[in-house]
Homo-oligomer: A and B are copies of this chain.
Amino acid sequence: MKFAEFHTGQIIEAGPIGVSEAEIIDFARQFDPQWFHTDVVRARASRWGGVIASGWHTCALAMRLAVDGPLAGSESFGSPGLAYLRWFNPVRAGNQLRLRLQVIETRRSKSQPTLGILRWRWQMFKQTGEEVLDLEATSLFDLTGAVER
Contacts and interface: CB of A to CB of B under 8 A. Distances in A.
Q: Is the interface of A mostly helix, strand, loop or mixed?
A: mixed
Given A85-B81, A87-B79, A63 B31 contact: yes
Contact of A56 (B33, B34, B60, B81): B60
A87 B81 contact: yes
A83 interface: yes
A78 B63 contact: no
B84 A82 contact: yes
Interface residues of A, number: 36
29 contacts: A30-B60, A31-B61, A31-B63, A31-B64, A32-B63, A32-B64, A32-B67, A33-B67, A34-B71, A36-B77, A36-B78, A46-B77, A47-B77, A47-B142, A48-B77, A54-B60, A54-B63, A55-B78, A55-B79, A56-B59, A59-B59, A78-B87, A78-B90, A79-B87, A81-B85, A82-B84, A82-B85, A83-B84, A84-B84
